[in-house]
Amino acid sequence: MANERCRVALFVLIVCAFAYAAVYTSSPAVSVNPCAQTLTRALLAVTGLDPYVVSCAADDGVSTPLLSDGGHDKINAGRVGGPIVTDLLQCRKPEGPDFPEDLQCCPPMPTSEPIDFTLPDPSEPLRTRRPAHVAGAEYMAKYERAIALMKALPRSDPRSFYQQANIHCAYCTGAYRQVGHPELAVQVHFSWLFFPFHRAYLYFFERIAGKLLGDPGFAVPFWSWDVPEGMRMPLQFANASSPLYDQMRNPWHAPPKLVDLDYAMDVVENNYTDDEQIKHNLWIMYKQMISSAPLASLFHGQPFRAGEASKPGAGTVELQPHNLMHVWVGDLLSYPNAEDMGAYYAAGRDPIFYTHHANIDRLWDVWRSNGKGEDFTDPDWLDSSFLFYDEEARLVRITVRDVLDMDKLRYTYRGVGLPWLDARPPTTPNVKYRVKNRVEKPVMFPVSLGNVVTAEVRRPLMLWRQPKGATQEEVLVVEHIQTDGVCKFDVFVNAREHKKIEPCGREMVGSFVCLRHHNTQNNVTRRGVQTTMRVALNDILKDLGAEQDESVTVTLVPRHGKVRIGGVRIEYNGM
C-alpha cells in the first residue's frame, strides 16, 4: 500500500513538473520558485500525501501558503495585529526533542475548502451536560459507548478517536502556523484563545459522539472536581476493562484519592485529611475564580494577535486548576512529560480529558453568569478562528464569536452548586513581610529560581495614593518566565515567612503551573516556554491592610522543575 502511494505521488509530482515547465517556457516573467504555485486540496487528497510532505520553505525561511483558503492567507500577511487564523495546508509535523519520532498531529486533507460555521437549528434538543459523579450508570455507559465507537473508526476518519485526540496535538505543539506569518506557531494555551478553542473543540467532539450513537441529545459528562462530591476521579475511568481507561495515569491518584488543586508534583503525597484537602481546594477555586479574575485579561489570558509570538500569558483558571489537574492525572512518576494527560501532544488520548475540559468550559460560563467579569470585545479575539471536522466529516471554520452563546450552541450544564463562592481564605496572623530596621538587598533579575526569592516591589505612585473606593485594578506581573519542562512555583505577597502560611492561605496569591512546551519562532523550534504571569492585587492588599503601602514584598517559592524569572513589577488596570 505504501509503495502504491509513493508511485502515485511520484507520478503527480512528475506531471506537476511538466506543467510548471510549460508555464515557465511560455511565460518567462513567472517566478521559478515552485512554492509560488498552488496545489489543490483535491490533488493532495488523491495522492494521500500529508500536507507537510509537500514542503514550501522558501530560501529566506518563510513559507508561502499552498492554497488561498478563501483569501484567509491575505488577512494578516506582512503586518502585526489581527485575528489568529489557521489553514490546514500550513499544518506540519511537530518538531521537538520530547516528541516521538513518528508523531503526526495534522488532520486528514479534505477535498474542498472549509465551510463557515453555522449555528445549529434552535429546534434541536438542548444537550445537558451532567456531573459525572451523579450522572448515573446509564448516562456514563453512553459516554463509554461513544468512545468505543470513535476508537472503532479507521484512523483516517477525521471523526475517529485517534484524529480527535490529534486536534489538541496540532493546536498545542506548533504544528499549525499562523496564516500570513508561517514562521510563527499557533498555540491556543497561555493566551486569550484558551477558553474559546476548547469550547469549540468539545462542541464538535460532542456532536460527533451523538451522531455515532444515533442520539442528537447526547452530552458529554463533566468532572466537577471543584465541588466536594466531585473531587475524586469518577469510578468509570478507573475500570481497566473500560474504553474510558488510560493506563498512563498516576496510579496514586486513582479513586478514592481526593484531587489536590495545589498539587506540588512531589513523589511524596500530602497527608491532609479529607476535610483539609477539600478546604484547600475551595480556597484555590475562590482565588482563581473570584479575587484573582476581575478582568477579562486576567481570567482569559493575554491578547495573542497575528504576527506575535505565542504564549503571552495564561489566565488564572488555565494555570490552576487546569494545568494542575492535567499533571495530577498524568503519570509524572513514570514519564518526564507526565503523559498522557500531562503532555499537550498526548492529553486528548485520555477520555477523561473531555470531561475535564467540560468542567473548565462550565467555569467560563459561571464566571460570566455570576457577574464576576465580562469577555473581551476586541475584534482580533472575536474573529480568531479554528478548523474542526463536524459530525458529517466536513471541515468547518469556526470563530471565537461563534461560541460565545451556549444556548445558541444548544447545550447547557446541570448545576452542582458553587461552594467556593464564599470560600475566601483567611489571612495568617503574625507573619512578617519586612524585617524592622533592615534595608532589603535588591534582587538582581533575571534569576534562576533554584531557591526562594524575595523582592520588594514599589507600587506606582498613582496606585497607593489613589482615593478609597477607586475601581482601578492593580496587577502583579511576574515577567519573562522561562522553563523547559513541567514546573510549578508559588507566589506570596507580604509573607517573607511563607512557611507559616497554611497551604493555599490568603498570602499565597497564585501558582504558576506549566506543562512541557516548545517554542516555535522564525521556523526554529526549541524546548521551553517564555511567558508571563499576572495576579490581581486589589483584594489581597485590602485583606492585608496594605492598600496605602508604598511597596509590597513578593516571595517566589519553587516547587518543581527549573524556572528562570526575568523580573517582577506592578502595573495599572491589567493593561
Annotated binding site for Cu cation, which residues? 168, 189, 198, 322, 326, 357
Residues 237 and 254: their CA atoms lie apart, in Å, by 9
Element holding 389 (H helix, E strand): strand 385-389
Q: SS3 for 275?
A: helix
Residues 203 and 511: their CA atoms lie apart, in Å, by 30
Task: Report which residue type is found at 390.
Answer: D
Task: Report the phi/psi class of residue 572: left, alpha or beta, with left for phi > 0 and alpha for psi in -120 to 50.
Answer: beta
As a 3-state breakdown, the chain gives helix, strand, coil percent values, each rounded to 5, of 30, 20, 50
Residues 182 and 522: their CA atoms lie apart, in Å, by 8
Question: Are the C-beta atoms of residues 348 and 326 closer than 8 Å to each other?
Answer: no
Question: Are the C-beta atoms of residues 61 and 183 closer than 8 Å to each other?
Answer: yes
Question: Are the C-beta atoms of residues 316 and 288 closer than 8 Å to each other?
Answer: yes
Residues 35 and 24: their CA atoms lie apart, in Å, by 14
Question: Are the C-beta atoms of residues 517 and 314 closer than 8 Å to each other?
Answer: no
Q: Cell 478553542 sits at which residue?
A: 197
Question: Are the C-beta atoms of residues 200 and 108 closer than 8 Å to each other?
Answer: no
Task: Report which residue type is found at 519.
Answer: N
Cell of 214: 444515533
Q: SS3 for 296?
A: helix
Question: Are the C-beta atoms of residues 490 and 470 closer than 8 Å to each other?
Answer: no
Task: Report which residue type is found at 122.
Answer: P
Residues 478 and 565: their CA atoms lie apart, in Å, by 7
Residues 119 and 370: their CA atoms lie apart, in Å, by 25
Residues 389 and 393: their CA atoms lie apart, in Å, by 5
Residues 243 and 143: their CA atoms lie apart, in Å, by 9
Q: Which residues are annotated as a binding site?
A: 168, 189, 198, 322, 326, 357
Residues 509 and 531: their CA atoms lie apart, in Å, by 18
Cell of 392: 458529517
Q: SS3 for 6?
A: helix
Pairing of strands 115-116, 395-399: parallel
Nearest to 446 by CA among 567, 561, 531: 567
- Cis ω before 446 (30° cut-off from 0): yes
Backbone angles phi, psi at 474, to 5 degrees: -100, 135
Burial class (CB in 10 A: 0-12, 13-18, 19+), 566: middle
Burial class (CB in 10 A: 0-12, 13-18, 19+), 315: buried
Residues 564 and 506: their CA atoms lie apart, in Å, by 25
